[in-house]
A = this chain, B = another copy of it.
Amino acid sequence: MKNASPRPAASQPAQRPAARATNLPSRRPRGLKTRRAILRQAVNIASLEGLEGLSIGKLAATLRISKSGLFAHFGSKEDLQCAVVDQARDIFVEKVIRPAAQLRGLPLLRALCENWLCYGEQKTFPGGCFFSAASLEFDDRPGRVRERIVGLMKKWLGNLEHAARDAQSAGEIRKDVDVRQLAFEIQALAMGGNWSSRLFRDQNAFRSARAAILQRIDQVATPAQSRK
């Protein structure tokens, strides 16, 4: 009870404890394990229902733990949402970025695109690309969650752009190509594949996206590099 009115005689007037959990990130193994199990489930639900539609009560119910027990791991819904975004980022990095980590230039760019398409195709998240959904859901909601998503998306586009620029330096992509524009187009086409796949339950959606992206890359590649 933190109502101000029915408390005429109390020793503490106006202290703000706010989120009292997870400031010390709970070194004990039990809590960490539970937290991981929560996030594993939460990221799946959030990809289907959205980050706002992800409710603490339902999440706790599917995990068969109490709502308050779950809540204590995060301290606020916003913290939970941030943690879910981080979890999704980890999965994305694992599936898309890390497998191509040793490549550079055009091969890196090609691998990032192909990995993204596989990440979408293989239903890494049951509700489709987590970030496509989250970034459209939160593009009008100021706060930490939005900032986190914006940061991640900028970083991802930056990765594409950087790979393309390296490819340019290596003579694999023509010098007159706007690599920023190229990254934008690749991202748009990939997300378009996700969109079509989800909305129309279209099996060929990612095939279309792949064809478009490969064609675009071939266009900008120098003659020696095109056609794989």
Contact = CB atoms under 8 A, between A and B. Distances in A.
A90 interface: no
Nearest to A200: B150
B208 A196 contact: no
A226 B149 CA distance: 39
The count of identical subunits is 2
B199 A184 contact: no
A191 B194 CA distance: 12
A79 to B, nearest CB: 21
Interface residues of A, number: 36
Nearest to A154: B200
Contacts of A136: 132-133, 136-137, 195, 198-199
A177 to B, nearest CB: 12
Contacts of A153: 199-200
A104 B200 CA distance: 27
A197 B191 CA distance: 15
Interface in A19-77: 48-50, 52-53
Interface centre among A181, A185, A198, A209 (most CB of B within 10 A): A185
Given A181-B211, A198-B140, A191 B191 contact: yes
Interface string A171-207: 0000000000100110111011101101110000000
A118 interface: no
Contacts of A128: 139-140
Contacts of A127: 139-140
Interface in A200-228: 200, 208-209, 211-212
Interface of A: 48-50, 52-53, 127-128, 132-133, 135-137, 139-140, 149-150, 153-154, 181, 184-185, 187-189, 191-193, 195-196, 198-200, 208-209, 211-212
Q: Which 8 A-B pairs have the closest CB atoms?
A: A188-B192, A139-B198, A139-B199, A135-B199, A185-B212, A184-B208, A48-B140, A188-B189
9 contacts: A132-B136, A132-B195, A136-B136, A153-B199, A181-B208, A188-B189, A188-B195, A191-B191, A191-B192
